[in-house]
A and B are shown apart, each in its own frame.
Chain A
């Protein structure tokens, strides 16, 4: 990853901008939402491999900062919502796309299915993914 940052720096013009946009594992919130309101039904489970990936990304970018390759100008967290018509569709997505990184524990799955079944006709099942956006500015190589 450090090599990739070095390459990105090479192809950027002087004072060029790097935008880092990525999800950050933080036991993402699971909800059942309808026009009448939102009910939190639990949190996702983070797996060690996903947490290790986040840590590796943080270390790489910190190294790039220490080396004087980029200057961190601005950053913030924001929510990125995934939503499905039913808990079954959510569970299928998690198995297919997020397997090995995060999972739904039994209790959260049960609470979500129950809240959805008892909810309004327009109820949807949501996962609130925690996102981080950072703007970096390319610096000239330190002499």
Chain B
């Protein structure tokens, strides 16, 4: 299929105007296959991507660049019960997840 999404990259340009991710600990809820994740994760100090779609997370893991394997982790977790201690993240992203 010849699908193109956001060819002018408006989403990531705007996203970067809204938040500075440099050296921040980031929680992304609804990361899916990591389409957005891979566009910002290298700047973060740590990224946790959550999604309930196991197949999508498999794709995200396959696509994970080797230099990001230590700082980007994925889990199948519900946003209603986050398995993290309080005040763990600087930034949370609800990515297409409402």
Chain A residues at the B interface, C-beta cutoff of 8 Å: 1, 3-4, 7-8, 10-14, 16-23, 53-54, 56-57, 60-61, 74, 76, 78-86, 89, 92-93, 124, 131, 133, 135
Contact = CB atoms under 8 A, between A and B. Distances in A.
A126 to B, nearest CB: 9
A82 B7 CA distance: 8
Nearest to A74: B18
Given A13-B87, A80-B10, 20 more contacts: A1-B98, A7-B79, A7-B82, A11-B86, A11-B87, A16-B90, A16-B91, A17-B19, A17-B92, A19-B91, A19-B94, A22-B94, A22-B97, A56-B98, A81-B7, A82-B4, A85-B2, A89-B1, A89-B2, A133-B15
A19 B80 contact: no
A22 B2 contact: no
B21 to A, nearest CB: 10
A18 to B, nearest CB: 5
23 contacts: A4-B78, A8-B94, A11-B85, A12-B90, A12-B92, A13-B89, A13-B90, A16-B87, A16-B89, A16-B90, A18-B91, A21-B11, A21-B94, A22-B94, A22-B96, A78-B14, A80-B5, A83-B7, A84-B1, A84-B2, A84-B3, A86-B2, A93-B3
Given A3-B80, A81-B7, A89-B2, A60 B89 contact: no
A14 B87 CA distance: 7
Interface of B: 1-8, 10-11, 14-15, 18-19, 27, 29, 36, 78-82, 84-98
